Amino acid sequence: MKIKRHGAVIGLIAAGALALTACGSDSNTPQSGGSSGAPAATGTAQVECGGKKSLVSEGSSAQKGAMELFIQQYGQKCSGQQLAYTPSGSGNGVKQFNGGIADIGGSDSALKDGAETDAAKTRCQGNPAWNLPLVFGPVAVSYKLDGATSVTLTPEVLAKIFSGAVKTWDDAAITAANGGKALPAKPIVVIYRGDESGTTDNFQQYLGAAAPSAWTKGAGKKFAGGVGQGAQGSPGVAEAIGAADGTIGYVEWSFAQDKKLNMAKIDSGAGAVELTAQSAAAAIKEAKVKGEGNNLVLDLKALYASKAAGAYPLVLATYEIVCSKGYDADTAKAVKAFLTVAATDAQSGLADAGYVPLPQEFQNKLLTAIKAIA
């Protein structure tokens, strides 16, 4: 079955409505990431189904394909239980959760201390919200450049491209990154997310960590490079990259796969690394938890700045934002059931959909947090 990622809303999927068979995107989808040396989570878990029949979730478009798998497995595991997911972007996910519209918010960035965490605490009846990193997805640096079959870029060159300092494909810095081979003499057209996006936030965090002297624009959900053309959502970015020669942009691996976009190799100092499930999983082990208790906020700086051979460091984590306490009993029960299924049974299909299955250590921490939701 081919996963479709371009609808505005993933509908209410009832139990048994869809049979989960071979979930893939394109014929060249990656093999399981479990062989990378970072063990992937496996197995099933005991799930206490019931509670609210129709959960509502909204947010990150980066996790849309993963949510499709989670919803399918949830419907099969818990008969009659449903969840509707709207992939409207991380900014909207936070707003809809904090506004009490969404039971679960999806965001590629954890809640920011201050206004966002304060609003979440109010929404959760005076209790803190937790950020649970449920989906790991590589971000592809995709491009369309007629006459070039392979492109390697360093973090410094990427920072200069996305800040406008490098303007043409035959720039000396790009030539050097490609072993002295000059690319076509064409203008570079940067494509970025025009809406508020956790993918943008993570991409800019990556540039700041991996190339601090070349990227001085900071991070945040709004693109700060000051160059290029904005596109709406991940589907819009993928479409724009594929539509014109000379383009380059950042987009989740699953969308790059769907559109069969070219993907640049990244050389962080130990040689060019192609984006694969194995190279992304090799980088994830560098991620550390900096949040307290069951608020599993990650410190991605070590991951993004990694120069480890064979590791593709441009990987984002998508958080499910939930109330630690403050749901009514029926909602809490259903939220816990959905998240448990997503963290266990549903992980097996993620690699074929352009994501990296949870490392075992993250699965264990997630299940502890999920059980603690009250």
Compute the distance between CA of residue 131 and CA of residue 323 in angstroms, rounded to an integer: 9
8 Å CB contact between 81 and 333: no
- In the chain, where are the structural domains located? 33-137+290-299+318-372, 139-283
CA angle 51, 70, 327 (to 5 degrees): 30
Burial of 244 (0-12, 13-18, 19+ CB in 10 A): exposed
Classified by CATH at the fold level, domain 139-283 comes out as: D-Maltodextrin-Binding Protein; domain 2 (3.40.190)
Q: Is a pLDDT exceeding 60 seen at residue 122?
A: yes
Report which of 232, 227, 207, 210 is spatially closest to residue 218, judged by C-alpha positions: 207
CA angle 174, 176, 181 (to 5 degrees): 85
The model's pLDDT over 214-228, given as tens digits with 9 standing for 90+, comes to 999 999 989 999 999
Domain boundaries 33-137+290-299+318-372, CATH class:
alpha beta
328 CB-side CA count, 13 A: 6
pLDDT of residue 21: 28
pLDDT of residue 1: 29
More confident residue, 67 or 196: 67
Q: What does each C-alpha distance from 348 to 75, 126, 304, 351 come to in angstroms?
A: 16, 36, 26, 7
pLDDT of residue 179: 96
8 Å CB contact between 340 and 11: no
Compute the distance between CA of residue 335 and CA of residue 50 in angstroms, rounded to an integer: 10
Compute the distance between CA of residue 353 and CA of residue 65 in angstroms, rounded to an integer: 6
Q: What is the mean pLDDT of residues 54-78?
A: 95
366 CB-side CA count, 13 A: 28
pLDDT of residue 43: 59
Q: Which residues pair with 263 in a beta bridge?
A: 142
Domains 33-137+290-299+318-372 and 139-283 equal at CATH topology level: yes
Compute the distance between CA of residue 44 and CA of residue 31 in angstroms, rounded to an integer: 21
pLDDT of residue 334: 98
Q: What is the mean pLDDT of residues 75-99?
A: 96
The model's pLDDT over 305-351, given as tens digits with 9 standing for 90+, comes to 989 899 999 998 999 999 999 999 999 999 999 999 999 999 988 98
Q: What is the mean pLDDT of residues 156-184?
A: 98
Contacts of 64 (CB under 8 A, 6+ apart): 5, 10, 85, 87, 234, 254
